[in-house]
Amino acid sequence: MSQSDPYWSRSAPRPEFAERLDPVIWGDGAGPLTPAQRERYASDGYFVQRGLLAEEEVERLVVEIGRLATGATVSPSAAEAGVDDDEVVREPDSALVRSIFAIDRRSELLARLVNDPRLVSAARQILGGDVYVHQSRINFKPPFAGRSFPWHSDFETWHIEDGMPRMRAMSASILLTLNTEHNGPLLVVPGSHRRYVRCVGATPADHFRQSLRNQTYGIPDQALLTELVRQGGIASVTGPPGTVVFFDCNLMHGSASNITPLARHNIFTVYNSSLNPLAQPFGGTPPRPEFLAARARG
């Protein structure tokens, strides 16, 4: 552990809570978000904006992600043999596409989406100035087969494995299908962004190759997670297509498997402050690939 790093993790034998030393809202209030939305973000670590994207916009995006998923489809034997690219992540127990990363480099339509002023201006208002896209991806949860994502704080991974210095980043989750209580929606622990959870276990080499399919390092201790839930509860983030969820980089979140006949497909784009550029990873490992953590800003 480093005494100079307030957000060290994975280097002690026991997990623990640590104080958050950074603001939640860095900006002065100027921007498209209402005072109520900013207050909700500050207190709970997220807010939901329904109808941000129009129905016809969502329809075009659904067609586009279907095209990308079809283009990424390979036979199970080819997937097992590694005939693929790292930016396409498969489910841990099948060749089904789980996530596609760097979507703004794969599609002009998706590049326009992640740079849409409706998203970027909200990020600028929360983060206090210029931002850039740290990461973009599609998470697929097809009917009956979409697997869970374990509880985690994004910032813990971005700090330890990518070198993000401070908690000055936010995510926007764009719902492309109906997200219900039942088809594996985003689950969040309101208020958990105000405490940092130090995890245990040294990060293995090339950890991203396994973690994107089934994360086992950088997840919170069950006792500490239980305490966070005792204080804040658990909220299911549901809504119709076109809904956008803005959430803090340190918010504890996860999702259950989709065992319903209803697909749950969401786009995630992460905005980092231009004043918070990535350094060397604080966990001592080599930087993860650019498609996971953009170092070339703009």
Domain ranges of the chain: 16-273
Task: With a cut of 50, say whether residue 227 has pLDDT above it.
Answer: yes
pLDDT at res. 25: 98
* Residue 4, number of CB atoms within 10 A of its CB: 7
Q: What is the mean pLDDT of residues 212-220?
A: 68
What does pLDDT average to over the chain? 91
Task: Express as a percent the part of the chain with pLDDT over 70.
Answer: 90
Task: With a cut of 70, say whether residue 72 has pLDDT above it.
Answer: no
pLDDT at res. 217: 65
Q: What is the mean pLDDT of residues 50-63?
A: 98
Task: With a cut of 50, say whether residue 255 has pLDDT above it.
Answer: yes
Higher pLDDT, 259 or 29: 259
CATH topology for 16-273? Jelly Rolls (2.60.120)
Task: With a cut of 50, say whether residue 78 has pLDDT above it.
Answer: no
Q: What is the mean pLDDT of residues 119-146?
A: 96
Q: Is 104 helix (H, G, I), strand (E, B) or coil?
A: helix
Task: Express as a percent the part of the chain with pLDDT over 90.
Answer: 81
Burial 51-83, CB ≥16 within 10 A → b, else e: ebbeeebbeebeebbeebbeebebeeeebeeee
Nearest in space to 5 (alpha carbons), one of 228, 281, 233, 205 = 281
Q: State if pTM tops 0.85.
A: yes
Task: With a cut of 50, say whether residue 298 has pLDDT above it.
Answer: yes
Confidence band for 85, pLDDT divided at 50, 70 and 90: confident
Q: What is the mean pLDDT of residues 270-292?
A: 95
Q: Is 180 helix (H, G, I), strand (E, B) or coil?
A: coil
Pairing of strands 97-101, 252-255: unpaired
Tokens for 203, please give them: 């990060």
Q: What is the mean pLDDT of residues 25-52?
A: 96
Task: With a cut of 60, say whether residue 55 has pLDDT above it.
Answer: yes
- Label residue 22 exposed, middle or buried (CB < 10 Å: 0-12, 13-18, 19+): middle
Confidence band for 58, pLDDT divided at 50, 70 and 90: very high
pLDDT at res. 214: 55
pLDDT at res. 206: 65
Task: With a cut of 50, say whether residue 79 has pLDDT above it.
Answer: no
- Kindly report, residue by residue over 184-195, the tens digit of the pLDDT: 999 999 999 999
Task: With a cut of 60, say whether residue 84 has pLDDT above it.
Answer: no
Q: Which of 66-80, 86-100, 231-245 has the lowest mean pLDDT?
A: 66-80
Tell me which DSSP letter residue 93 carries.
T
Q: What is the mean pLDDT of residues 161-184?
A: 98
Confidence band for 3, pLDDT divided at 50, 70 and 90: low
Q: Is 32 helix (H, G, I), strand (E, B) or coil?
A: coil
